[in-house]
Amino acid sequence: MRTYLSLLERQRARRGDEFAANALFFTPAPTPRWWKAEEVFWEDVSVVFRNSRGCLKNHYPESLKPFFIGVGVNIQAQPLDYVRAAYELAVSGNTSTEARDCIHTLYRRIWISIQEGGDWQNDAQWQQMRDGMCWFGQKGDHLDSSIGQN
């Protein structure tokens, strides 16, 4: 029995690696698209991410939720998900009204997360974004406290 359970655990880990490395999640709407595990959530996050992240709950039965979670899909967005999406949008150079609205929403979520604190602030990608040219809320050597207030 122990051997069987360890085999299942290795299979789950390998599947998780495959889903993390490849775009293997499909969402038919709003535009048909394939996603990596870090780009989808079970819950609908389109209010925050617009079309830059996928939602599985709207397209798949609840019975598949444990499978998706088992291969690395988060139920809902975490602070670093907001950071990654803001970084991607910032470096894309997209200055459309939709992009500006999206970045504003993302930064509001990041500001709330900053206030709540947490280990995520030690992440290298967050620190790179915060200290680099992609952090629009920076004034000199400190963060602009008005970010997310509008």
**pLDDT at residue 148, as a whole number:** 41
The predicted pLDDT at position 103 comes to 85
Are 6 and 35 part of one and the same domain? yes
Residues 66 and 94 in one domain: no
Return d(Cα 67, Cα 107) in angstroms, integer: 31
The whole-model pTM stands at 0.70
Range of the domain at 129: 79-143
Last residue of a domain, one of 15, 46, 70: 70
Q: Consecutive sets of 10 residues in the chain, 150 residues long: mean pLDDT of each?
A: 55 72 90 92 90 92 90 91 86 82 88 88 81 56 46
Of 53, 70, 87, the domain-final residue: 70
